[in-house]
Amino acid sequence: FVGQYLNKAQAEILPTFIASLRNLRRLSIVVGRFSDVGRTMIMKDKDKSLTFPELQSLAIAYPDPSDDIFSMTTPNLTNLFLRDWPRHYHSLGDYTPFGDYYQAPLLSSTECLSILKRLNSSRLLNLEVVYIADQAGCDDDLLEYIVHAFPRLEHLQLHRYRTDRREIVDYVSS
């Protein structure tokens, strides 16, 4: 799914639809949202027996960190994209893709880390994370976890936004 929600009802029906697709290999939900939609929730109060054993690629714009899809068994997951759409940097200037009602509920570095820790996949080859850092150094745990938890990574894409846009980011690994 690519585009934008027209109303909250579209976002609310998504979990029911996704749960009916048992043999998913790729799932991509990159949908812009208006202020009343909130974050993307795919699995809400999931059936504990529901799994996506064939899922290889998962892309979600503005994921909800409490989404049960991140706790499911996905042994073949090699591509994970926790992203924004449209890109958050578009809204930092004068251009707003969907007008004044557009919302970009970015994950914090702590929320990103909680999602990655719940994943049952050390087979990731490609990872994209988009998050906002409250202050310098608050994302050290996230970055260290990525390095150690996903030894097979071949491609890593980080989009790190700052709460204070004047903050100088000089990241040196210790």
Q: Where do the H-state alpha helices sit in the chain?
A: 8-19, 109-118, 140-149
Average pLDDT, the chain: 81
Task: With CA atoms as reference, report the closest residue to 121 among 68, 25, 64, 55.
Answer: 55
For residue 96, give the amino acid letter: T
Give pLDDT, residue 19. 79
Q: What is the mean pLDDT of residues 138-160?
A: 92
Q: Is the pLDDT of residue 100 over 70?
A: no
Q: Where are the beta strands (DSSP E) in the chain?
A: 2-4, 26-34, 57-61, 79-83, 102-103, 107-108, 126-133, 155-162
Residue with tokens 């504990």: 48
Name the pTM for this structure. Answer: 0.84
Confidence of residue 5 (pLDDT cuts 50, 70, 90): confident
Confidence of residue 76 (pLDDT cuts 50, 70, 90): very high
Q: What is the mean pLDDT of residues 35-40?
A: 71
Q: What is the mean pLDDT of residues 67-86?
A: 89
Give pLDDT, residue 72. 85
Whether the CB-CB separation of 15 and 44 falls below 8 Å is answered with yes
If you average pLDDT over each of 37-41, 147-151, 167-171, which comes out highest? 147-151
Confidence of residue 93 (pLDDT cuts 50, 70, 90): low
Q: 106-133: buried (b, 16+ CB within 10 Å) or exposed (e) per residue?
A: bbbbebbbebbeebebeebebbbbbbbb
Give pLDDT tens digits for 53-66: 899 999 999 999 99
